[in-house]
Structure 1
C-alpha cells in the first residue's frame, strides 16, 4: 500500500477542495521507509514490524493502531517555515504555545508557574492543555527541558533541536502516561532523527515579508556514509536567522487598542511628561522642560486622563529576531551479529531578542513595585523638586502619613527596554541494543543513557537601581562621588546621560536545567493466540532533574525597577517500572478480520510528589478488511515541575476591576461597608487596571491526574484505492490541576464576602489602591475537554496530466471547561468558541487545514488552506474575532539529472494578505500569537541538493 498523506495538510472546509495547503503534509500513515527503534535504533524485523510512537511492542507500521500523525522532511519543506515548531503548531489539534510572535519580557511579568517568560523559546501544546501536558521525545527518549533565563520551565524548547537532524515527527494524539510516564496527558511528540543517509544533503531557504521586514535565512547540511558496513553515521548542522517585525510597522498594533488612532484608557500613565499624584493633586507637566531647567509649580496642570497617557504599543516586536546554530552526529556500530551500539550528540545555540517600551519608572506607595521604590523619599534639597519633601510615610510619625501617592515617569531617554537571550543546549544519548531467540521467538532489548544540559543567559538594558535612585532623589548632601541628582520632574529630555549612567544598570540573569536518564527495555513474543503472537514489553527507567534560576544580584536584592525576581533552585528524581501487553485475539475470520486487545501499566515513584500507578487499555477491531474500529482508555499524570515546586515569589500583571472603585459603578450596601472597613476611602478611584499578582511555587503540590477516552474509525475502501477517512473522538479530564487561585476571585471573596483568608492575600496602600494580590500554586482546578478529529486523504494514480493528492484534516472542539474556586464555591468557565485574553489563547470550535498537491514529471505545486473559526473574547464580550482562512502556495521544480537530485521551490504564505482579527484583551500587539499569522504575506525561495 502506498503512502497516503493526511495531515499537517488538514482541512479548511469544503473550500479546501479548491485551495488545499502548504501547512505541512501531516499524514496518518507513516512514510514507506519508516524504520524507528524501540527507544533505541534497532532495525525492523524481516517481517517489517517496528516500534511506532504510542507502544513499545513491535508492530506493522501500517496498522494504524492509534491516532498518530506523521510529518516528514518533505512535508516540512512544503510549508516554507523555518522551525519544526511552527509546522507542528499548524496542526488542527495543536493549541499553539510559545513561538517567535511572543514578545513578553518586561511587559506583564512572569507567569505564575515558575517557568519564567520563556522569551525566544518554541513549545508545542496539544488539545489546549498546555505545553507541560504534551510530552516531547527524541527517538523515544526524553529531551531536556528549556532554560528561559527568567525561571525554570517545565516544557521542552523545540528551538533547541536542529531541524537538519530530523527525519520525521510522529504525533500521538492520545494519552500515554502508562507507556512513557509523566506529561503525556494530551499526547506525545516524538522527533525521529536521521539514522542513515548516503551522501550529502544541503538546503538553503531565504524568505522575506512583503513589507520588506522579517527576513529569514535557513541553511541546512547533513552527510552520511550510507548503510553499508558495520559503522553507519550521519553528521550535519544548520543555521537559521530570523529578522524582526516591529509593532510600529503594522496598523493592528499601533495603539494598545486595535483600530485606535489615539490613546485611550489602555495607554500608560507612565508618560514622558510624568504623572504626579502629590500633595492631594493629580498633575502632569504642561510641556517638557529643557535639560537643566528647574521646574516650578506653574509648569504643571491637572492630569487630563486618556489624552495624557503614553502609547507604548509601537515599541514592541510582532516577530522577534533570533539566530540558531546547531550541529549533530548520529552513529551506529554493529558490535556483533545481534548487538549494536548507537550514540547521538547535539549542540545548539540560540541568540534571540525581544523589546519593550522605555521603562515606566513608578515610585510611591501606589506604585505597586513591592520594593524600595514604593517607599522612596524625594528630598526638598533635590535641585529639581518643586514640591518640597515628598515622603511615602514619615518614620517619625507612627501613623501612615504620606505626602505623595504616586509619581510615574517614562524614561524615554534610555530608549526601549531590550532583552538579549543566549541559550546553549547539549544533549547526548548512548544505546546498546540487540536481539536474541528464546523459546523459538524473537526478543529485543536495549539499554539507554541520556544527558541533557540547557543553560540560558539574558541581558536586559534599561533597568534602574532603586538604591542609586534613592541617593539621586534624596538629600543632596548624600549624593556624593559618582552620584548625580536625578530629575524625575522635568519631562522628556530632562534626564541626562550622566543621570542614567548612575541610576541604570545592565541586568544579567541566568538559568539552567539538567537531565540524566537511564532506561532498559525488553520486548518480544510470549505465545501464539488465534490472531497472532501475544506481545510483551517491560522496562525500567530512572530520571534525575535539576534546575536553577539566578536573577541579577541587584534584582534579587529587590532593587530593580522592572520585574522583581528571586533565585530558584531545586530538583527531583523518579524511578519507574512498566509493562505492556498486545493480544491479537482473532484474525482473518468473518466479522473478525482482526480483534486485538492492548494494555499497559506503569508505576512511578517521585522523590518530590510521591508514587502513582497508571493504566491504559485499548481495543482494535476490523470487522471487515476496509474498516478499522478502535478505542482506548488511559490514565495519566503530570508531576509538578521544578518551577512549580520550588519557584520563588514572582510577579505578573493582571487586568482587574476593583469592586471598591467609585469611577465606573460605585459600590453600595454591604460592598461599600466592606470597602470602608478595609480602609478604602470614599470616592476612591483605581489608578491602574493592571494589578500586581504575586505567586510562587509550592513544594507540597501533588501530581495532576487525568483520564482520557479515544474512540476512532478508519475506513479505507478497497474499491477506491489510495483513499481513506479517519475520525477520532476524544475526551480528557484533568483533576488536581496546578493553578493559583485567580486574583479576581481572591479580590471578590475579600470585598464582597469580607472573607478573612482572602483579605489576608490582598494588600492595599494608604490611599486604598491595591498594591498586590498573593496566591501560591495549588492543586485546585480541573479541566474537561471533548472533541473530534476528522481526516480525509486521497491520491490519484498517475495520469497524463499528473498525479493529484488531497488531504483535509479537521479538529472540532465540542467542550473545554475549566473548574476553579470562586466566590460561590466552584466556577465553571467554558472556553470553547472563545478567546481568553492574556495569557493569550483562542479556543476555536473548528480548525482545519487542507492541501491540494499536483506533481507531473519534474514539476509540482501545492495549495494550502488553513481555516480558524471565529471566537468571542471573554473579557471583551462585545468583540468577535472573525473567522480566518489563510491560503499558502508553493511551486516546485526537480532535476534528478543535476547532482543526483536538485529541487527548487518558490512559495508564498498568506497569499491573500489576511490580517489577524483584532483582540482587545490580548496581551500585546492586539492579536493572539498562538493562533494567527503575523500580518502580511511571506515570500520564500528554497533550493536543495543531494549528492
Structure 2
C-alpha cells in the first residue's frame, strides 16, 4: 500500500474546522501524519481515495464537536452560522414559511451557497444524492435539511466551488455533504432545551441517542432524534409587534369591514364605525379601518420532528458490505394573514344586501345609508338584489398543517481489485408530504351564496326560479343571510362556518440510483504516482405535487380557485439520467500537483452536457500553498419547472427596470407591483450553466497558525424564472399577448380589465388588436373611469385622479423561461491560531467573506443591476471566535457580523416613501441603509468522565435586528432574526 506524505500546511488545512476547538482537539502532528498509511479516505470534491486533495480547494469542515458547541438544535440552525451559506436570499428557514403555495413549505428549510439558491447547491449524504422536497419553494426544488437527523451527523463538509465535473447536476455553487456516523462504539444520550429570555415561550426540546456495537466482525450504529419547537409570533416582541410605518396598512381589515369607495357617494372609502383601532388616513384623505400584517405574522413556525436509523458495516473477506438507512417525520403548522374577500370573479369589493346595515344602531345605519349608492347586483343564484360593496378579509388567519415522511436507504459493496479500490451502491431516497388547510380557508361560491341568503343546509347553492322569484333547496332547507358587519353573533358565525373548506395537497419525490466507482494508481511519473478515479451513475427521478380539486386553477371555473386566497401547483414529471466521469491526480513535481476531471451527463428530457475541471496546488515551501481551479457546472431544469401545470402564484414586475412599463402600469413610479398569475412549466427549458474560477493562497508560518485567502467567481447563465416585466414590455408591441378578460385556453399573456375593450386609441383600435397604441388607450381609459377628467385636466389637477394606469385583470398566464445571467465574485479570508500553555489552550479564529460583485440583469431588461450591497445582499459576512480550553473545561465567544446594505426603498409604495421623507429616514437621494448587525454567542462546557454539560447563549447582548423599512415585518428575516437573546442547555451522558 502506498504511503502519501503531506506537508504540514496541507495537514492544517485539512484539520481546519468550524471552530478553534475542533482544530485544537483534532490536530495531528506533521511527523506523525507523514508516517500514517492513508486508505479509504474520501474528501468532498474528489472521488480518488487516499490522496490529499484538500490543498487544492477550500473546504469548510464542521465536526460533531463543533455541532455540539454551536448551540444549534437543527441542521438549519447550524447552516445559518456558516459564512458561505449566509447573505442573499438563497438559504431559507421556517421564518419564511407560510400557508400559501408561494411561501416556503411549512417546516422545511434549505441551505444555499453564495446566495445562488438551494437548487444550485448540491446536497449529499455520504457523497450521494437526496430526494428533493416534493413541495417546491416557488418552482425551485430543494432538499429539506430539516428532514436530516442531526443526531446522525458525524461532520459536515462544505465545498463552495463548482463541482459538476465530479457530481453532475446542481453543483453550480458547490456541495454540502452531510457525513453520517459509522463504526461507533458505545452509547450516548443527549438532552437539550432552549428558549428565549423573553416572557413568551419559544421553547425547543431535543433528545437524541446514539448506540454502536460490534456484532461479530460487523459494526452496527443506531441513532434516534426527537425535536420539538414552539412557534414565534411577531406580537411577542416590542420591535415587531407594531408596524414600522403607519402607511404599511392594508385597506382590507378583518372583523370590521369598510364600505368600498365605488358604493360611496363621495367616492371615498367609508371606515367601519365599529373599528377596533384608530382610523388611518389614506393617501386619498380617507379615514378607514385598516389591517397590519404584524397582527398575525409568524416569524418562526411550529415544528416537530422525529427520526431514527442505522449504519451497518460488515466485511466478507476482502469485500465490505455497507448499509445506511434513516427515516424521519416532520410536522409543522404555518400561518399567513387572513384571506382577502373579493367578488366571485376575484374583482375587489364583494356585494352585500342593503339589509346588512341592520347590524348597526338605527342612527348609525341611517347615517351610512345617506352616504351610499344602493345599486342592483346579481347574486350567485341569478337573482337581482340591491346593496353595496365592502372591503374586508376574513377574521381567521390561513393555517396549514404539513407532515413530511422521508426515507433513505443506501446499500453497497466496496473492496480491492489488485491495487485499485472499488465501490458500488444502490440508493432509494423518498420524500412524501401531506398538507391540509385547517383554518381560514373559505369557498368563494358558498360565501357569496351566504351573503345573499342562497346557501342550503346541505352545502349546495339554491336553485332560483325566475318566474316565481323563489329559491329551492330540494330536500334541504334554506339558510339565513350572512351579515359580514354583524359581530359576536353565534348564529351568524355558524353560517360563515358552512363556507369553510379544507384543501389538501399531496406530494412525492423519489430518487432511484445506481453508481459504481473505482480508484487507484495508474503509473509513476517523475518519481511520483499518478492516480485516477472512474465512475458511472444511472439515476431515475420522479416528482408529483397534487392539490385537491378545490385549490386548483381550472379553465371550467374561469381559472378561479374554488377557495379565497389559497392555491397550489399541480405538477408531475420524471426523468432518467446517466453519467460517467473520470478524475486524475497528477503530481507533476513534489511541489506542484494537478487535478483533472470531466463528466458527461445525458438526460432523456433536455439532452446532454459535458463539464470539465482543472485544479492545481503549488507549494514552493512547506509553509506555503498556492491553489486554483477552473470548472464548468450545470443545473438541470427542476422537475417542477418542467412539469408544473397552471401553478397559482403571484409575480412581481419591476417598474424601475422598464420606463415604458412604468408609464403604462405604474403611473410612472419605479416601484414593484405584484399580480396574481398562473405559471406554466416548460419542457423546452435549457439547463442553467455556470463557469467558476478560484485562486487562493494558504500560509502557515508555524504549526499553530494558518492564514488563507481565496478569490472565487461564478458566471451563471440561462437562469430559469418567470419574467412578468418582460412579458408586459413585449405586450406593448405584441397583440397576441394582450387579452381583454381571461387569457384563452392554450394561450399566454396579460389579462386586462374586460372594460378596456370599450375604449380605443385614436385610430379606433382596441387594446387586443394589432397595432393599437397603448399610450393613447391609457389616456382614453382615464377619461372612461374618471368622469371629471377633462375638468381636472383644464385646471391642472390630474394628480387627483384615482385611476391612472391600465387596469390589469387577473390570472395572467406566464411560462417559465431561461431569462438571464448573473456574475458573482468575492474573497474568503480565514485565520486560525492557537496558543498552548500548561494544560491551557487558547485559540483565535476569524472567517470573513466579502462580495466584490453580484451582478445580474434586471427582469424584463438587458440592464445589469449590482446586487452586492443592495437589499438583502450584504457585501460582508464575518465571524470571529476566541476559544479557551483548560483540562476538562472549555468556553468560547463567537462574534457574528452581517454588513450593512441598502434598504428596499425603491420597492415601496408612494405613501410609504412620503412617510419616510416626513420622518427624515431617507437621504437626499431618497435612500437609506439597513445597519450592520453584530451578535455574540457564548458557549461554556465541562467534560466529566462519562458526561458533558454545555450552555450556549445566542445573541448574548440581546441585540435587536436593524430596522428595514423595505420589509413589511420591519426587519430582514433572511439576514437577521427578532428572537433576541436565547439559551440552550445540553446534557450528554456516555454509557460505558
Q: CA deviation at 1:26?
A: 8.0
Q: CA deviation at 1:762?
A: 2.8
Q: CA deviation at 1:579?
A: 0.8
Q: How does 1:909-924 map to 2 (within 5 A)?
A: 909-922=954-967
Distance 1:323 1:771 in 2: 41
Match of 2:851 among 813, 816, 826: 813
Alignment of 1:787 with 2:773, yes or no, is: no
Q: Contact between 1:150 and 1:511, CA under 8 Å: does it hold in 2? A: no
Match of 1:222 among 210, 220, 230: 210
Q: TM-score, normalised by structure 2?
A: 0.79
Match of 1:287?
273
Match of 2:644?
647
Q: CA deviation at 1:81?
A: 1.2
Distance 1:189 1:624 in 2: 31
Q: CA deviation at 1:806?
A: 1.3
Match of 1:344?
324
Q: CA deviation at 1:271?
A: 4.0
Match of 1:928?
972
Distance 1:384 1:578 in 2: 76
Q: Contact between 2:275 and 2:289, CA under 8 Å: does it hold in 1? A: no
1:583-625 per-residue CA deviation (whole Å, 9 max, x = no partner) reads 11111xxxxxx21111111111111211111111111111111
Q: Contact between 1:99 and 1:930, CA under 8 Å: does it hold in 2? A: yes
Q: Report the secondary structure of 1:945's partner residue.
A: strand
Distance 2:275 2:895 in 1: 55
Distance 2:845 2:671 in 1: 53
Q: How does 1:173-572 map to 2 (within 5 A)?
A: 173-212=160-199, 213-226=201-214, 229-255=216-242, 257-258=243-244, 260=245, 263-275=246-258, 276-279=260-263, 281-284=267-270, 286-288=272-274, 305=286, 307-336=288-317, 338-363=318-343, 367=347, 387-391=374-378, 407-412=390-395, 415-437=396-418, 442-460=419-437, 461-474=439-452, 476=454, 477-478=470-471, 480=473, 481=476, 484-490=479-485, 492-493=487-488, 496-530=492-526, 532-556=528-552, 558-572=561-575
Q: How does 1:894-909 map to 2 (within 5 A)?
A: 894-896=943-945, 901-909=946-954
Distance 1:693 1:916 in 2: 33
Q: Report the secondary structure of 1:577's partner residue.
A: strand
Match of 2:589?
586
Q: How does 1:700-739 map to 2 (within 5 A)?
A: 700-717=684-701, 720-739=702-721
Match of 1:597?
594
Match of 1:664?
none
1:262-283 per-residue CA deviation (whole Å, 9 max, x = no partner) reads x424434244322424447444
Q: Report the secondary structure of 1:463's partner residue.
A: coil
Q: Contact between 2:452 and 2:481, CA under 8 Å: does it hold in 1? A: no
1:473-513 per-residue CA deviation (whole Å, 9 max, x = no partner) reads 34645474366345354254468232122111122222111
1:729-788 per-residue CA deviation (whole Å, 9 max, x = no partner) reads 0010011111111x34544565xx555466453323236532344421101210100000
Distance 2:859 2:674 in 1: 22
Q: CA deviation at 1:29?
A: 12
Q: Contact between 2:375 and 2:388, CA under 8 Å: does it hold in 1? A: no
Distance 1:486 1:541 in 2: 64
Distance 1:887 1:685 in 2: 41
Match of 2:874 among 830, 844, 847: 844
Shift of the 548–404 alpha-carbon distance from structure 1 to 2, 3 Å rule, reads farther
Q: Contact between 1:150 and 1:509, CA under 8 Å: does it hold in 2? A: no
Q: CA deviation at 1:890?
A: 1.1
Match of 2:722?
740
Shift of the 243–380 alpha-carbon distance from structure 1 to 2, 3 Å rule, reads closer
Q: Contact between 2:693 and 2:713, CA under 8 Å: does it hold in 1? A: yes
Alignment of 1:85 with 2:76, yes or no, is: yes
Q: Contact between 2:196 and 2:979, CA under 8 Å: does it hold in 1? A: no
Distance 2:41 2:670 in 1: 63
- Higher relative CO (CA 8 A, sep ≥ 6), structure 1 or 2? 1
Match of 1:620 among 594, 617, 621: 617
Distance 2:290 2:329 in 1: 40
Q: Contact between 1:379 and 1:389, CA under 8 Å: does it hold in 2? A: no
Shift of the 49–30 alpha-carbon distance from structure 1 to 2, 3 Å rule, reads farther
Q: Contact between 1:202 and 1:945, CA under 8 Å: does it hold in 2? A: yes
Distance 1:265 1:62 in 2: 53
Q: Contact between 1:169 and 1:189, CA under 8 Å: does it hold in 2? A: yes
Distance 1:789 1:122 in 2: 25
Q: Contact between 1:268 and 1:311, CA under 8 Å: does it hold in 2? A: no
Q: CA deviation at 1:549?
A: 1.1
Match of 1:940?
984
* Higher mean displacement: 787-796 or 489-498: 489-498
Shift of the 832–688 alpha-carbon distance from structure 1 to 2, 3 Å rule, reads closer
Alignment of 1:692 with 2:683, yes or no, is: no
Alignment of 1:158 with 2:145, yes or no, is: yes
Q: CA deviation at 1:223?
A: 0.3
Q: CA deviation at 1:69?
A: 0.6
Q: Report the secondary structure of 1:893's partner residue.
A: strand
Distance 1:784 1:383 in 2: 59
Q: Contact between 2:55 and 2:617, CA under 8 Å: does it hold in 1? A: no
Match of 1:884?
933
Q: Contact between 2:62 and 2:157, CA under 8 Å: does it hold in 1? A: yes
Shift of the 626–420 alpha-carbon distance from structure 1 to 2, 3 Å rule, reads same
Distance 2:161 2:610 in 1: 18
Q: Report the secondary structure of 2:56's partner residue.
A: coil
Q: Contact between 2:122 and 2:176, CA under 8 Å: does it hold in 1? A: yes
Q: CA deviation at 1:95?
A: 3.3
Q: How does 1:847-866 map to 2 (within 5 A)?
A: 847-866=877-896
Shift of the 933–211 alpha-carbon distance from structure 1 to 2, 3 Å rule, reads same
Q: Report the secondary structure of 1:389's partner residue.
A: strand
Q: Tell me the number of residue pairs that the alignment of Structure 1 and Structure 2 aligns.
A: 845
Distance 1:855 1:150 in 2: 43
Q: CA deviation at 1:857?
A: 0.7
Q: Contact between 1:8 and 1:71, CA under 8 Å: does it hold in 2? A: yes
Q: Report the secondary structure of 2:83's partner residue.
A: coil
Q: Contact between 1:378 and 1:391, CA under 8 Å: does it hold in 2? A: no
Q: Contact between 1:7 and 1:91, CA under 8 Å: does it hold in 2? A: no
Q: Report the secondary structure of 1:350's partner residue.
A: strand
Give the structure with the larger helix fraction. 2
Distance 2:619 2:638 in 1: 41
1:692-731 per-residue CA deviation (whole Å, 9 max, x = no partner) reads 24323211111011100010111112xx221111111001
Match of 1:123?
110
Q: Report the secondary structure of 1:390's partner residue.
A: strand
Q: Contact between 2:91 and 2:115, CA under 8 Å: does it hold in 1? A: no
Match of 1:869?
899
Match of 1:763 among 747, 751, 754: 751
Distance 1:810 1:688 in 2: 33
Distance 2:751 2:38 in 1: 69
Q: Contact between 2:725 and 2:859, CA under 8 Å: does it hold in 1? A: no
Q: Supply the RMSD in Å over aligned alpha carbons.
A: 3.5
Q: CA deviation at 1:62?
A: 7.9
Q: CA deviation at 1:643?
A: 1.0
Q: For the pair shown, which has the larger CA radius of gyration, 1 or 2?
A: 2
Match of 1:638?
635
